[in-house]
Amino acid sequence: QVRLQESGPGLLRPSETLSLTCTVSGTSVRSYSWGWIRQSPGKKLEWIGYIYYTETTHSNPSLNSRVSISVDTLKNQISLQLTSVTAGDTAVYYCARVEAGATPVYFDFWGQGTLVTVSS
């Protein structure tokens, strides 16, 4: 059974870099594509980006160049970095498996999410 577990610092200061890790079990990260989605408190889901198994990445234009997504095949993990965070980046961050065989892609398995708060 596929399981995804996000981890990372729960509290950041403005201007710092958010670094999250998603540990995958039950499958190899090599075999699939992976994505990140976030949800601000009481608000809708917001797509952050995804990385294909070919390591090609796509990210939300609204986040400009602040987003970096990578895969560590040795640790079977996916990573997200978001630079220059502000209070507007406070959210629950989810990693998810991407079904890349469809267009557009969709997310068929999700982690439980991790809350990240940005505050001075």
Partner 1 sequence: YELTQPPSVSVSPGQTARVTCSGDALPRQYAYWYQQKPGQAPLLVIYKDSERPSGIPERFSGSTSGTTVTLTISGVQAEDEADYYCQSADSSGIFVLFGGGTKLTVL
Residue 60-79 contact track with partner 1, rule CB under 8 A, x = bound = xx------------------
Among 10, 30, 44, 65, binds partner 1 (CB under 8 A): 44
Among 63, 66, 68, 110, binds partner 1 (CB under 8 A): 110
Q: Pick from 57, 43, 47, 38: which is nearest to 111 by CA?
A: 38
Among 16, 46, 83, 115, binds partner 1 (CB under 8 A): 46
Among 1, 41, 65, 102, binds partner 1 (CB under 8 A): 102
| Backbone dihedral angles phi then psi of residue 90, each to the nearest 5 degrees | -65, 125
Half-sphere exposure of 78 (CA within 13 A, CB side): 36
Residue span binding partner 1 (CB under 8 A) among the ranges 13-21, 26-34, 43-51, 76-84: 43-51
Rounded to the nearest 5 degrees, what angle is found at the Cα of 90, between the Cα atoms of 81 and 87?
Answer: 100
Is residue 93 a contact point for partner 1 (CB under 8 A)? no
Q: What distance lies between CA 66 and its chain's CA centroid?
A: 13
Instruction: Express the helix, strand and coil content of the chain in percent, nearest 5 each.
Output: 10, 50, 40
The footprint of partner 1 (CB under 8 A) covers 35, 37, 44-47, 50, 58, 60-61, 94, 99, 102-108, 110-113
